[in-house]
Amino acid sequence: MQNTGNQYRLQKISEIQKQLEAEKEKRTQLGEKYKKRVKAVDAIDYILASSIVGLSILGIGLLTTIIAAPAVITTETITMAAECCSY
pLDDT grade for 86, boundaries at 50, 70 and 90 = low
Is the model's pLDDT at 51 over the cut of 70? yes
Q: What angle do CA 70, 71, 73 make, to 5 degrees?
A: 65
Which residue would you say has higher pLDDT here, 28 or 55? 28
Is the model's pLDDT at 80 over the cut of 80? no
Mean pLDDT of 4-19: 89
**CA-CA-CA-CA torsion sign (16, 21, 23, 24):** positive
Q: What angle do CA 66, 61, 42 make, to 5 degrees?
A: 140
Model confidence over 18-36: pLDDT tens digits? 999 999 999 988 888 888 8
Contact 75, 59 (CB under 8 A): yes
pTM attached to this predicted model: 0.50
